[in-house]
Amino acid sequence: MSRTRGLFRRARLWSFRARRAEFYRDVAEMYRRNESLMGFLEGEIANSVRTRQASRELALRLMLSRYQEGDHAGRIGHLMEPVMPRGDAMMLVGVDRAGDKAQALEALAEAVDKQTTMKRVVLGHCALPLVMMPLCYVLIVLLGEVIVSVDRSAPAYVKEELWQGLNGWAKAAAELTQSHGLLAVGALIAVFAAAVWSLPRWRGRGRLAVESLPVYSLYRDFQSGLLFTSMAMLLKTGGTLRGSIEDIAQRSSLWMRWHLNRVLHALDDNPTGTLEAFSRGVLSPHMLARAATLMRTAESFSDVLIELGTSEESRVVAQVRKAALAANVALVGLLVAMAGFMGVATLTVPGKFSNLMQPVSRTLLKQSYDARHAPGAATSLRPP
């Protein structure tokens, strides 16, 4: 029952979470105006009631309830923990540690805006396979039915000549689709589901070997982008490089935690080799090269991470978009190519069938077929 209640609460908080960057800026303004936290929460609850923002009102009431409990009432991270996404928790820790909380909250809002942009890019590119794959499958089935119907209506003495070359491949594909199409789609969905399940969980050398494949490279680049924005926010608010990595690792997926622990172990072996530590798989070759370029003039690698997470946003988003496009091609390309091939076949097969059914061609094919299948034809081919 409590789990159902929790899911219902998250659903009600969805609208507030989607606009949480605006709320972070409101809290930053509260600190600049030296308003009390209690007064801010009570006043914003009243405003939410006036403007009929039920999701915002619920979030504010949950925060007010935590504040009134008294335990860690002054910690922003503690107050916002039940209403904000888990991914923001690491950055809220940075707000609590910052001396200038207004500036830290503004940096947090900027980080959330950048992460939202990257998530929209990924979700936008995910929509194409979800739409195209069912359409391609239906199209392949319909085109396959056309080819199979031609085969049914063709006389036996025409079939051998009709299904030569690419037409034969099209017929085989059509028959496979008709007999095992749903099984193939089920297998494809199962493979895709297994790959998605493994994205935040699979670790080890095997994972490093597949990081360049489309779906896995998209996940790596997307997570790297989120890492840059989180690291930039924590470092800008006074956090150390190692402390920021440890904070993020504690609240990350198994995959990211594994990579960040590898970075920390590399820093233990060589504290000054920060670029080499981040080159062990968590960054794409493109972003690693960009980091090396920035490192040539930066005072420290922390400055490089801050720049990658702030002013280099367009490059990071472009890399995520490129990886998303590659994943789209990998997921949809095979079905689109097969649908195109079957479409061409539905033009060539009826055309060739019509030519073969012309009286002269039909007579010659029938004579040749009868000659090959005459009672004595088989024995005449036997060796003496």
The radius of gyration of the chain from alpha carbons, rounded to an integer in Å, stands at 31
- Residue 317 pLDDT class (50, 70, 90 cuts): confident
Domain shared by 120 and 9, yes or no: no
Both structure tokens of 232: 């930039």
Domain shared by 21 and 143, yes or no: no
Q: How many domains does the chain have?
A: 2
Q: How many CA atoms lie within 13 A of 187 on its CB side?
A: 5
Q: In this model, does residue 194 exceed pLDDT 60? A: yes
Domain shared by 73 and 123, yes or no: no
Domain shared by 79 and 93, yes or no: no
Average confidence score pLDDT of the chain:
85
Q: In this model, does residue 283 exceed pLDDT 60? A: yes
Q: Residue 126 is part of which domain span?
A: 88-369
At residue 360, the pLDDT reads 85
At residue 375, the pLDDT reads 66
Q: What is the mean pLDDT of residues 139-143?
A: 90
Q: What is the mean pLDDT of residues 80-107?
A: 84
Which percentage of the chain shows pLDDT scores above 90? 19
Q: In this model, does residue 381 exceed pLDDT 50? A: no
| 378 falls within a domain | no
Domain shared by 13 and 146, yes or no: no
Domain shared by 111 and 73, yes or no: no
Sign of CA dihedral 10, 12, 18, 24: negative
Q: What is the pTM of this model?
A: 0.76
Domain shared by 166 and 179, yes or no: yes
Q: What is the mean pLDDT of residues 188-202?
A: 89
Domain shared by 186 and 330, yes or no: yes
At residue 379, the pLDDT reads 45
Both structure tokens of 97: 């540690």
At residue 207, the pLDDT reads 92
